[in-house]
Amino acid sequence: MEDKDAAVELEAVYTEMLQNNLEGLWRMTRDVPEVKPYLWRWDVMSRLVNQAGSFLPMEELAERRAVFLFNPALKHMAGATQTLYAAIQMIQPGEVARAHRHTPSALRFIIEGEGAMMNVENEVVPVHEGDLVLTPNWLWHEHRNEGVENVTWLDGLDSPFVFGLNAAVYEMHPDVYLRETKSRDITSAGNAESLLRPVALEPEATAPQHLVYRWTDVEPALARLAAMETTSPHDGVAIEYAGPNNGHALRTMGCWMQMLRPAEHTEAHRHTHSSVYHVYRGSGHTVIDGQRFDWKQGDCFVVPSWAWHEHVNDSDAHAYLFSMNDIPIMEAFDLQREEALTASGGHQEVTSTFDPAKAAS
């Protein structure tokens, strides 16, 4: 009888707690969205971006013709992971995506098409397939297509992280367009080797800030690295696009290019940082938490935090995987943790195969 009274009283305490926006820690249920591994196929993404684009002129597009990739666990926010936003952006000949700036930082990796010019704080940069262009936060940026074909690139932003901090601030340029429209070609490539750091080596804190990294520098850097065997069992032949933020390109995001040689199969590991991958060239598959994700050129996929993953090149050509990650955020707060899979020669058991048609939400 006493016990029953106590239970009733405790229930009343809980009710009153909730009415006052209080809760016992011992009653807490975890309510953190579990970001899922996922893969978006290039043929689907490019077809839909182009179809939408054929109906919508730039004026109707909130300034950018971008279609973002949302994680099925993050239906109410624009995020491929908790920290990383990714989108496919397309610009048609003659179009200008007007100037703006914002507190989220951004990167663009050019997927296909020639003739685009990116203006970052009045530096005008002609971009080509495979190039990486940065817009560190709060720099004005505008994009133009001065060519004769559509140009498509991958956008990467730290916007989910910045939104999570409630720190997103955005401004349109008062003059609509930036002044400089002619290239001063700052390609900055002068010393490509200092821009491209083997992932297997410790970063140097002092790399200069660069806005553009050329594929024509990255490809030979990877070939040299492969010859030197400065490779990691988990990442293959991998370079980081270096920058001044403890060695990383942006304060919040790092960028890598990984080369997988024919038949190369990396060993599985997991880490607290998350990554979004884009298959620049080649085909193969990645096993993420026991699930097999087959990929080919143009596809994008997510490796969530703390998910086991290993990459396999199934072809007899080199495969190149571009990726963005949130390593700089993890390092800033001392959250970097990593674990290697030691059992079974470092390989996971494959228990299922991902099918985007079935996995769509």
Q: Which residues bind ligand GTQ (CB under 6 A)?
A: 64, 66, 87, 89, 102, 106, 141, 155, 157
- Among 279, 207, 220, which residue's Cα sits nearest to residue 249? 207
Task: Answer yes or no: are the C-beta atoms of 305 and 237 closer than 8 Å.
Answer: no
CB of 316 to ligand GTQ, least distance (A): 35
Q: How far is the CB of 34 from ligand GTQ (least distance, A)?
A: 25
**Least separation in angstroms between CB 161 and ligand GTQ:** 14
Nearer to ligand GTQ, 153 or 215 (CB): 153
Q: Closer to ligand GTQ at the Cβ: 157 or 307?
A: 157
Residue 96: both structure tokens together:
């200008």
Place of tokens 């403890």: 246
Can you tell me the distance from the alpha carbon of 311 to that of 236, in angstroms, rounded to the nearest whole number? Answer: 9
Closest distance to ligand GTQ from the beta carbon of 120 (Å) = 10
State the nearest-atom distance from the C-beta of 99 to ligand GTQ, in Å: 9
Residue located via tokens 């390593």:
327
Cβ contact 260:236 at 8 Å? yes
276 vs 213: CA distance, rounded Å = 19
Structure tokens at 90: 């397309």
Please name which of 235, 195, 186 lies closest in space to residue 215, comparing C-alpha atoms.
195
**Number of residues that this document lists for the chain:** 361
What residue has token string 């932003």? Answer: 157
Smallest separation (angstroms) from ligand GTQ to the CB of 64: 5
> Is 107 or 288 the residue whose CB approaches ligand GTQ more closely?
107
141 or 285: whose CB is closer to ligand GTQ? 141
Q: In terms of CB distance, is 51 or 191 closer to ligand GTQ?
A: 51
Neighbouring residues of 154: CB distance < 8 A, sequence distance ≥ 6: 86, 87, 88, 89, 108, 109, 111, 278, 300, 322
Alpha helices by DSSP H, listed for 165-315, are 192-195, 215-228
Tokens standing for 100? Answer: 């703006």
Pick from 354, 284, 273, 360: nearest CA to 319: 284
Q: How far is the CB of 323 from ligand GTQ (least distance, A)?
A: 17
Distance in Å, CB of 155 to ligand GTQ, minimum: 4
80 or 157, CB closer to ligand GTQ? 157
- Residue (100 or 296) nearer to ligand GTQ, CB: 100
Q: What would the two tokens of residue 297 be?
A: 């050129």
Quick one: 155 or 240, whose CB is closer to ligand GTQ? Answer: 155
